[in-house]
Amino acid sequence: MAEQKQSQQEVSSAPPAGGLSLDWWAVIAALALAALILVGLIPAVPW
Amino acid sequence: MTQEIAAPQPADTVSIGSLPRRILGLIPGLLLLFVIGYAGKLTQSGIKAYVTANHITFPDIEYVLWAIIYGLIITNIIRLPKVFKPGVDTYEFFLKAGIVLLGARFILGDILKLGGVSLGLVAIELAVAIGLMVVLGRLFKLSPKLTSLLAIGSSICGVSAIIAGKGAIEANDEDASFAIAAILALGAFGLFAYPAIGHAFHMSDQAYGLWAGLAVDNTAEATAAGAIYSDAAGKVAVLAKVTRNAMIGFVVLGFALYWASRGQAKGVENKAGFLWQKFPKFILGFLLISVLATVALFSSGQLASLGNLSRWAFLFTFAGVGLRTDFRELRKQGLRPFVVGAIAELTVSVVTFLLVLGASSVFGL
């Protein structure tokens, strides 16, 4: 059981084939939004 | 129980399989995050309008604190139904995306100056936190690997660092759960204590933000602790915290090499690869956006929009911070690791407070 949990941890800490880490998805999403704002596809964002 | 404590940390990887079903499963929790965050915002503006109209003196409590309180009430009193959990766990994604977008509110010069000050203070904070935790761990007879995890969590980055450390030093799930529970409980307490102390000492936004970023362990809670004080303090807290986060690879590598030398963990063959793997990539996104803002790629209106998008992302984050703090689960982990963590955190808080006061007078923060 401990070995299974350990191997699950090792698997979950390494990106699966074709998968990206959460960090990279956050960067991609943020840069995509920035690009949309830059080209004017997203108008002014209020707060 | 161990898995329930580990569960609040969302999966650090995202695969594309069964995407439509995954997205549908997120919707209830996402809606809840938005409703709670927005309720916090409405509470702040509603109170402000009322006290202004009635000429009442009342502190302007940031929406952050209200969102966290509402989340705590739902999780600890009403109980969060399981259907909301997947969506609520996305708060970490919003935190990181928010930090990347926050880069638009810093020009590179600010990052270099504040980042430089932070780096110096982080180096001292690392030494104090790690050294102190090791001494306390021995004093309270905690297992050596639990002590290492608490040292990693309290010096760097809370839950992420503990999970990174757990794999690197081959600690067991129980030790990792203890360490995570102690760090999260202390972080939740800090959300209320730090702003109160900051106001009592009339700290400037920059000084307080630096202190919150250096002393609070979990990134979401450090961001919240800063933002509860003020918007400006929130910015600085994030910058100080990501400076700490950037050190995660070096600290975890140090502990991994230590335990490998004792034959209790696998050796690290490719140290550069290890450091790159552990380095928080969202920091690169933050720096990139800041560079683009510095070279004036965006108009001032566009920069304002990026900054506001960051605020919306943090709104989801802060709601998540409250919702995922379950005091009953934390209590089940036992008192001893919590006591050790509390003593060390208190000492680190005092030391970093004094460091920040010193830096304030030297650098004019």
Of the candidates B10, B100, B311, the beta carbon closest to that of A47 is on B311
Residues 6+ apart with CB under 8 A from B24: none
Using CA coordinates, name the residue in chain A closest to B279.
A23
Distance CA(B177)–CA(B166), nearest Å, equals: 10
Q: Of B240, B241, B238, B245, nearest to B307 (Cα)?
A: B238
Q: Is the pLDDT of residue A6 over 70?
A: no
Question: What pLDDT is stored for residue A31 in this prediction?
Answer: 96
With beta carbons under 8 A apart, name residues in chain A contacting B301: 44
Q: What is the DSSP letter of B18?
A: T
ipTM, 2 dp: 0.78
Q: Of B280, B98, B183, nearest to A22 (Cα)?
A: B280
Q: Between chains, do B13 and A26 touch, taking CB under 8 Å as contact? A: no
Q: Between chains, do B305 and A45 touch, taking CB under 8 Å as contact? A: yes
Q: Which of B163, B177, B302 to mutate to test the interface with A (most CBs of A within 10 A)?
A: B302
Per-residue pLDDT of chain B (365 residues), as tens digits, is: 333 344 444 445 555 558 888 889 999 999 999 999 999 999 999 999 999 899 988 777 788 888 988 998 999 898 889 999 999 999 989 999 999 999 898 888 878 887 788 888 888 888 888 888 888 888 888 888 888 888 888 787 777 777 777 777 777 777 777 777 777 777 778 888 999 999 999 999 999 999 999 998 888 889 999 999 999 999 999 999 888 888 887 888 888 888 888 888 777 788 888 888 888 888 899 999 999 999 999 999 999 999 999 999 999 998 998 898 887 776 776 677 777 777 877 888 898 999 998 888 887 76
With beta carbons under 8 A apart, name residues in chain B contacting A30: 97, 100-101, 285, 289
Q: Of B156, B138, B116, B132, nearest to B251 (Cα)?
A: B156
Q: Between chains, do B281 and A21 touch, taking CB under 8 Å as contact? A: yes
Tokens 């430089």 identify what position? B116
Q: What is the DSSP letter of B105?
A: G
Provide the token pair at B251: 């600290």
Q: Of B27, B252, B67, nearest to B145 (Cα)?
A: B252
